[in-house]
């Protein structure tokens, strides 16, 4: 039990003790700023937010702490231990560098493969250059490295299933001449992690480490020759640090909740397979090479499998001649009070068919903002809902249009959120300018008509 207590103590130390607490504060600020942009995007699209930036940030923080604690306990129980010169602390740095190349490469599957490849190359070079073996920096146990990656993919899968659908941004695409609605999901979690490090008696880092651990009789669960050597010849202590797990996906065939659960299961199963596949490293250097190559390729296979599954499924949010499908509803929308939900279809407003959200406001204005919505739910039940709309607000309902003008299209690719945000903002400003210009022209026409009347 003392082994697990030491682990949790170090996780707690990463949260409250300097200097790591300052790193945590920095990560929280970064996540909060990103979440504020997501909420701003939701407000622009819907006229109201689906989530608050505080909610998004707190869920990332709390679940990240829980995920880091569980992951650390699993690693400690398995007996995953790294040497002081393993270079495991560079795993996060490599992930961040890869993120600048392509955001989705922040995954440990890629940074871990690079770290493992560097370690294998150094081991091979040391066989030909004997003096080189005395200065090995990245002397990492590949078995434990792959298990480490597998364990945190299991944690990531659980986090995605619980929290992956929060902060989703509605998006549209064109398929077979139809406009299809969907969601872009992107979440990050900051995890305080405690890993076991084997250090020598004269290592200066002992002052920063916790006291040595009394090994239980059942420990470690997973044994390796290098791990057992560290346990018997070194002082085993626990080192706290931070890592970031990221999830990014898009769906047009599932609800955002269904997509998060589906992706989470894929990631979790991949993590389990990785832990099993790590055992091939016991066959020597060639087994290590196979394991390091397998890790990123299996991850790509998992992503491609999800993509193909997405392509084979039927679109979920499509409008037709019957009515317009609801893709998203803001939390403060009045229609929520009447049990209207995402996936329902608006057949008419005040017995008039609509082709877009703009047409709905014209109908509401003509009827002094009194509305009768004819709604068809996912079970096919049709009902009428009466309510009075506040003229100073939007409906807070995002509808899938039947068609979109080319000039209103905002392409979303692998560019940054800022560029997409600016495109959307500029598009909204143009629409506002057009509206103001129409009002000016309308006032001018009315004034001209009044002047004509005066002349007559």
pLDDT in tens, 150-184: 999 999 999 999 999 999 999 988 887 788 999 99
CATH number of the domain that residue 323 is part of: 2.30.42.10
Shared-domain flag, residues 95 and 221:
yes
Can you give the residue range of the structural domain that contains 216?
A: 2-312
Shared-domain flag, residues 225 and 341:
no
According to the model, what pLDDT value does residue 361 have? 65
Q: What is the pTM of this model?
A: 0.81
Shared-domain flag, residues 61 and 126:
yes
Query: Lowest-confidence range among 63-77, 145-159, 173-187, 277-291?
Result: 173-187
Shared-domain flag, residues 361 and 416:
no
Among residues 312, 331, 365, which one ends one of the domains? Answer: 312
- 3-class SS of residue 411: coil
Mean model confidence pLDDT for the chain: 79
Tally of CA atoms within 13 A in the half-sphere of 176 that contains its CB: 5
Spatial separation of the C-alpha atoms in residues 118 and 331, rounded to whole Å: 49
Shared-domain flag, residues 221 and 137:
yes
What's the whole-number mean pLDDT along residues 34-46?
88
Shared-domain flag, residues 263 and 286:
yes
Shared-domain flag, residues 371 and 308:
no
Query: Lowest-confidence range among 63-67, 245-249, 423-427?
Result: 423-427
Shared-domain flag, residues 218 and 293:
yes
Shared-domain flag, residues 259 and 375:
no
Shared-domain flag, residues 170 and 276:
yes
Among residues 295, 312, 329, which one ends one of the domains? Answer: 312
DSSP string, 279-342: GGGGG-HHHHHHHHHHHHHHHHHHHHHHHHHHHHSPPSEE--SS-EEEEEE-TT-GGGGGT--T
309/422: higher pLDDT? 309
- What is the count of structural domains for the chain? 3
Query: Lowest-confidence range among 97-106, 220-229, 257-266, 325-334?
Result: 220-229
Shared-domain flag, residues 391 and 437:
no
Percentage of residues of the chain with pLDDT beyond 90: 33
Percentage of residues of the chain with pLDDT beyond 70: 74
The answer, yes or no, to whether residue 206 has pLDDT greater than 60, is no
What's the whole-number mean pLDDT along residues 32-58?
89
- The residues, ordered by sequence, that sit 6+ positions from 269 with a Cβ below 8 Å of its Cβ are 157
Q: Bridge-partner residues for 188, per DSSP?
A: 246
Query: Lowest-confidence range among 9-18, 35-44, 364-373, 375-384?
Result: 364-373
Among 350, 359, 369, residue whose Cα is nearest residue 319: 359
Spatial separation of the C-alpha atoms in residues 399 and 402, rounded to whole Å: 9
- Pair 32, 24: CB distance under 8 Å: no
Among residues 288, 312, 336, which one ends one of the domains? Answer: 312
Could you tell me whether strands 324-329 and 345-349 are parallel, antiparallel, or unpaired per DSSP bridges?
A: antiparallel
According to the model, what pLDDT value does residue 442 have? 42
Shared-domain flag, residues 134 and 227:
yes
- For residue 129, give the H/E element and its range: none
DSSP string, 201-228: TT-GGGGTSPPPP---TT--SS--HHHH
Among 261, 75, 240, residue whose Cα is nearest residue 150: 75
Spatial separation of the C-alpha atoms in residues 61 and 31, rounded to whole Å: 9
């Amino acid at each position: 039990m003392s082994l697990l207590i030491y682990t949790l103590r170090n996780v707690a130390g990463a949260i409250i003790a300097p200097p790591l607490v300052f790193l945590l504060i920095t990560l929280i600020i970064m996540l909060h700023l990103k979440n504020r942009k997501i909420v701003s995007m939701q407000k622009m699209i819907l006229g109201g937010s689906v989530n608050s930036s505080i909610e998004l940030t707190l869920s990332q923080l709390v679940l990240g702490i829980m995920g880091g604690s569980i992951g650390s306990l699993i690693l400690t129980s398995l007996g995953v231990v790294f040497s002081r010169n393993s270079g495991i602390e560079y795993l996060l740095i490599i992930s961040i560098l890869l993120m600048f190349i392509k955001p989705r490469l922040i995954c440990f599957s890629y940074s871990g493969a690079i770290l493992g490849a560097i370690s294998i190359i150094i081991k091979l070079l040391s066989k030909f250059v004997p003096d080189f073996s005395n200065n090995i920096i990245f002397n990492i146990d590949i078995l434990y490295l792959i298990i480490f990656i597998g364990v945190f993919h299991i944690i990531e899968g659980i986090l995605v299933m619980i929290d992956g659908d929060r902060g989703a941004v509605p998006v549209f695409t064109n398929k077979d001449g139809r406009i299809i609605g969907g969601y872009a999901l992107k979440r990050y979690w900051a995890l305080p992690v405690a890993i076991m490090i084997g250090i020598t008696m004269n290592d200066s880092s002992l002052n920063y480490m916790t006291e040595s651990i009394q090994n239980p009789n059942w420990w470690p669960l997973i044994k390796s020759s290098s791990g057992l050597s560290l346990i018997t010849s070194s002082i085993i202590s626990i080192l706290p640090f931070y890592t970031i797990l990221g999830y990014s996906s898009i769906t047009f065939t599932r609800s955002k909740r269904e997509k998060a659960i589906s992706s989470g299961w894929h990631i979790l199963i991949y993590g389990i397979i990785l832990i099993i596949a790590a055992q091939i490293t016991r066959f020597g250097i060639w087994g290590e090479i196979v394991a390091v190559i397998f890790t990123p390729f299996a991850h790509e296979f998992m992503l491609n499998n999800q993509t193909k599954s997405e392509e084979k499924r039927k679109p979920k949010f499509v409008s037709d001649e019957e009515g317009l499908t609801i893709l998203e509803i803001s939390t403060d929308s009045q229609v929520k009070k009447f049990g209207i939900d995402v996936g329902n279809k608006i057949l008419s407003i005040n017995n008039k068919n609509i082709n877009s959200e703009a047409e709905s406001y014209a109908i509401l204005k003509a009827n002094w903002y009194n509305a009768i919505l004819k709604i068809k739910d996912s079970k096919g039940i049709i009902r009428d809902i009466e309510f009075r709309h506040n003229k100073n607000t939007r409906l807070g309902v995002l509808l899938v249009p039947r068609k979109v003008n080319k000039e209103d299209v905002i392409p979303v690719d692998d560019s940054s959120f800022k560029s997409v945000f600016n495109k959307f903002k500029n598009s909204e400003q143009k629409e506002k300018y057009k509206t103001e210009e129409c009002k000016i022209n309308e006032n001018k026409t009315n004034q001209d008509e009044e002047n004509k009347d005066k002349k007559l």
